Structure 1
Amino acid sequence: MQAVVLAAGEGTRMRPLTAQTPKPMLQVADRPLVAHTADTAVEAGADELIFVVGYEADDVRSYFGDTYRGVPVRFAVQEEQQGTADAVEAAREYLDGPFAVLNGDNLYDEASVAALFDAAPAIAAYSVEDPRNYGVLSTDGETVTGIVEKPDDPPTDLANAGAYVFPAEARDWLDVPLSERGEREITDVLARVVDEHSVTAVEVDRWLDVGRPWELLAANEWKLADMDRRIDGDVRGDADLRGTVVVEEDAVVEPGVTIEGPALVQSGAHVGPNAYVRGATLVGEDCHVGHGVEVKNTVLYAGSNVPHVSYVGDSVLGTDVNFGAGTQVANLRHDGEPVRMTVKGERVSTGRRKFGVVAGDGVKTAINTSLNAGVVLDTGATTTPGESVTRDR
């Protein structure tokens, strides 16, 4: 079965991390987010991958090439971002037979996607406590009878998890009109399939829509926990590695370091001496975590440095970030409420009691900088010595 993987979006809610990198190519554990989606499709039995690309398309092309894990790869270009049906229609010329559609910024457990492929035509469903913020499926047993967007009175607790298997004729049903929000929706295609076919709702055991920075943390928590312990790099002296820890070849862990997994230290990274890394932490390629530094439940992308006597917790640092000596990140509100941050101009809850900062590529803080919980530092932002930053910059 062909699998269409949607990877054209810019990811504006993930800014500033997507200023130069398309959201599907943001790293989760040891590979891009969209690669986890592709892996799931291949494991489920996809015999061809069609990536729909747009923003920074060359990043996706160069990563996947002509084949991925022995499966042929093609690329289709979505010229304008006009919704999910429009994205799939960009791949229409390549479709031949039943086809799956997966969002390249979603994570699924592999067994559930395999069950989805087997049940074709089908849609992935995920049971949620409050379905009012989702597209919600109406069902008769396991058969889908309809879908309604963000209903005040949901017919079920089954949210649309954004993965589908369509019959071959759906290839000719992709040209749907614009919705009220100005997009051509894949759910309108689904509605016609439901009218003409018996569509199975396949309940997935685990699903994560990775749209905002704190969900990127959650994605790393999931995938880092799935790794197997492996020590290929240079671990020196009395360094103490506990639990699921991966140290890649050409990485160095100095004496006095404690790493409590799940954690991944990638090639070229240097940790220590006397550093403490804990929680679900990614130390990316060529990163430096130095003396007296504590990094907890954090993502450090390639080339970033926290070299001297700092604390960084529950944060996401883009590429080539440098935190000056004594930089401290707050990650907890005194009132115990979830940390809030600004996404596309709107102040929203992260839903996380602990959440630190988001630093775009090339951010540099000066010595003894304090960063408040939920602060976003834009690409290339800087601070002054001793500064306390309480608002986005």
Structure 2
Amino acid sequence: MDRTPRLSRHQWIALDGLAAIAYLVVFAPGAVIGADVPAGVAVPLMLLIGAPAAVRRLWPVPVFLLVFAGSVAALAAGVLTDPFVAAAFALYPVALGTRRPRLPAKVTGAVAVAILVVTSVVGTPHGIWPRLGTAVLGAGFLAGAWTGGQLVRARRSEAARAAAEQAQRAVTEERLRIARELHDVVAHSMSVITVQAGTANHVIGTHPTEAQAALRVIESTSRTALTEMRQLLGVLRSGAEGVEFAPLPGPSGLPTLVRRAEEAGVRVELDLRGTESLPGGIALSVYRIVQEALTNVVRHAAPARCEISVIVKGGQVSIDVTDDGRRAGVSAAERIGADPNEQTRPRMPPDGGRVGHGLIGMRERVLVYGGSFRAGPRPEGGFAVSARLPLTP
């Protein structure tokens, strides 16, 4: 970040005033003494040229026209000895504020360089045309001032455009992050709720106790989901007073996810090693990746057996979630002890239907940290998700 102190508008105007005084001190005495006109004419002309430059930032165009007209008059009277230095100084803010110049900066820059080079090589005319050299050299100074103002304006416009694009990218990335978080929360919770609601619906007449247990899971899951959604949506109004948010989830919250998945008919084995001191961003990514992978198991493979491994070793976090796929011939009624001949709810899509926003979201989380991600069916059956997150860039 650029921490260079910037001058205020009043400070710049004060510097312009000092520049105007310096111009008068350097050029006015010689112009007045060497002029062929009385001092009563030379002094006002020099003041007309030098003094307005102090307020060039307040009224750029009027100041330039006044200074330029005074310079031409002084040149014609034989008072001006400098090559339109004050006029070029006054022209700079005019060029800086002109959005669509008629002459491009490259053209005026080439003209300025050509005039200065030719003048320095050939020299100023002497004899009866001594003022012509001053006029030619002054044109070079004016062209140079115009070119400088246009180039600075273009650079500032480019910097402002880049800053606006960066701000827009930041807003877009934040929206995508919030959308991804909401997807993970909603997808997991709704999958569990759907499974439990289907179970309760099919056994409420024959196994009311099992139905009541499923409804308790639905209540608990929906409460947790609402809490997380309130926290995520609160990011959009984080400036509001009195709003407190719970800590972001991490590996320590995985046992809760496992318990919900087991209530939905998935037998889970969880292996956590060295996850206690993970950075906040990586800890959240680990939680969300496992959450989405486990959601896919509940949605597409339950009842099934699932193994989850999260190991921190060798400067990286290894995440592996595997399942053995849907067990053929085992219905939801058999899993909960109901009558096998009773009509059961429709089965979920097979493993091949898992590719969607969930896997894309997991891959994006991994790529943010420069890690690697793989997901797909296993040769022996089931599905596997594997992610590696480096702890250091």
TM-score (norm 1): 0.21
The structure with the largest alpha-carbon Rg is: 2
More helix per residue: 1 or 2?
A: 2
More strand per residue: 1 or 2?
A: 1
TM-score (norm 2): 0.21
